[in-house]
């Protein structure tokens, strides 16, 4: 009996230690064991190495970047939208590939009262299209365009289904059908649906670069939940986005896989078999063998701005795991002489951390993207983007 108790105590201690020590891969140690000591070394070698590991093992490889045939069609420009406060542009982004044609329908509000080009926020919308209603007959806190404009920022949004419907059809529809080589079996590192949506966000950036009213060097990509996984993967690859925002992105977004809290890699791969590449499924029961963890995805944003938001009652997304990803990305920001979060102490709810190049907040409440979250994102941008928010 005594022995059983002792063994029990030993076992409990071992398990507790295992939980404390996450044995995360070190972003500053390259695959051949070399320590990365300078920002130059990070940029020249390690950044590409980590990006490739995510590409090959997690999100998959897009067969195309900016397609040769890409056309922007401004369908409407209204100078007096939002009671005269904004220009509304409705832009169709058309693209063509071997398997046909696709179109992203982009809605943009540009504040009238700020100098141009103006900085802003682009939402990848993964909720019903009514959440980004450009007529503003329906208003949703998911995309508070009026509030964003009032604060002096461009508000842009598109719907993820324009790139790929959120269902598993064997990668026949959406951009997979348009760009994937038709005659070969699908390689295990082919892009999934999250990568398809991220690709679309980059095509929107292609458009921003062509619009004189928009400051493409100060644009944020924003996503919630599956949209947050997408904004992170987009921002990791596309360094044109100056600020990358993940709202409650959870598993394979901002949350550390090795914590095994909330949604697991196995659950996400089984529930959403089309989101990531086939190779990712090998890690369903071996997350410790993943060659990366999600803090390294956050680190790929360095030295740019990145923001992670969690909600207190959203245990499925593991808020603490999201926070810890930010903590463990700090070492890379330090290489650039920058402060990341600047703390490893998780803040209380509704006490945002906005003092470094990594922003974080924990909102009281459930899984959602609300005006509180948007206000925090804009407060953070105000600190870094001098020309943005109206200083009224
Ligand atoms: C859930 C999924 C999460 C998250 C969420 C959402 O069902 O398990 O990973 O992406 O959907 O997008 O709202």
Provide the pLDDT for residue 7.
60
Active-site residue (options: 140, 331, 367, 384): 367
Going by C-alpha positions, the residue among 235, 216, 219 that lies closest to residue 227 is 235
Provide the pLDDT for residue 9.
54
Provide the pLDDT for residue 325.
98
Measured over the CA atoms of residue 25, residue 31, residue 35 and residue 37, the dihedral's sign is negative
CB-based contact 202:158 (threshold 8 Å): no
Provide the pLDDT for residue 386.
76
Provide the pLDDT for residue 390.
45
Domains by residue range for the chain, with CATH: 25-391 (3.40.50.1820)
| 156-172 CB burial, b ≥16 within 10 A, e <16 | bbbbbbbbbeeeeeebe
pLDDT < 70 regions, the chain: 1-20, 387-392
Model's pTM, two decimal places?
0.94
263 in ligand 1 pocket by Cβ < 6 Å?
A: yes
CB-based contact 191:199 (threshold 8 Å): yes
CB-based contact 349:366 (threshold 8 Å): no
Pocket test for ligand 1, best of 226, 263, 315, 319 (most atoms within 8 A of CB): 226
268 in ligand 1 pocket by Cβ < 6 Å?
A: yes
27 in ligand 1 pocket by Cβ < 6 Å?
A: no
265 in ligand 1 pocket by Cβ < 6 Å?
A: no
Provide the pLDDT for residue 134.
98
């Amino acid at each position: 009996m005594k022995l059983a108790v002792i063994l029990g105590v030993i076992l409990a201690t071992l398990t507790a230690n295992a939980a404390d020590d996450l044995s995360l891969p070190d972003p500053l140690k390259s695959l051949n064991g070399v320590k990365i000591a300078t920002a130059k070394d990070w940029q020249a070698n390690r950044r590409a190495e980590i990006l490739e590991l995510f590409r090959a093992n997690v999100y998959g490889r897009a067969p195309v970047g900016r397609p040769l045939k890409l056309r922007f069609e401004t369908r409407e420009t209204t100078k007096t939208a939002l009671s005269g406060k904004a220009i509304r542009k409705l832009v169709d982004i058309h693209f063509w590939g071997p398997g046909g044609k696709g179109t992203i329908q982009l809605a943009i509000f540009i504040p009238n009262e700020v100098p141009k080009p103006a900085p802003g926020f682009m939402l990848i919308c993964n909720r019903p299209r009514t959440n980004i209603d450009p007529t503003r007959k329906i208003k949703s806190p998911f995309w508070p365009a009026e509030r964003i404009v009032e604060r002096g920022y461009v508000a842009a949004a598109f719907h993820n289904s324009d790139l790929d419907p959120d269902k598993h059809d064997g990668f026949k529809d959406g951009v997979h059908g348009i760009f994937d080589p038709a005659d070969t079996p699908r390689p295990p590192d082919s892009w999934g649906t999250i990568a398809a949506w991220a690709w679309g966000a980059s095509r929107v950036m292609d458009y921003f670069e062509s619009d004189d009213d928009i400051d493409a060097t100060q644009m944020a990509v924003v996503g919630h939940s599956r949209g947050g996984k997408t904004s992170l993967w987009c921002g990791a690859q596309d360094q044109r986005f100056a600020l990358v925002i993940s709202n409650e992105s959870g598993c394979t977004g901002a949350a550390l896989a090795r914590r095994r809290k909330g949604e697991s890699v196995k659950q996400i791969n089984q529930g959403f078999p089309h989101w990531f590449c086939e190779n990712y499924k090998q890690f369903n029961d071996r997350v410790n063998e993943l060659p990366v963890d999600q803090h390294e995805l956050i680190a790929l944003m360095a030295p740019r701005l990145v923001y992670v938001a969690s909600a207190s009652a959203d245990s499925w997304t593991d808020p603490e795991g999201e926070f810890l990803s930010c903590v463990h990305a700090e070492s890379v920001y330090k290489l650039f002489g920058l402060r990341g979060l600047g703390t490893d102490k998780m803040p209380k709810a509704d006490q945002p951390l906005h003092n470094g190049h990594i922003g974080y907040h924990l909102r009281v409440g459930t899984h959602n993207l609300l005006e509180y979250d948007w206000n925090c994102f804009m407060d953070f941008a105000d600190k870094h983007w001098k020309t943005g928010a109206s200083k009224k």
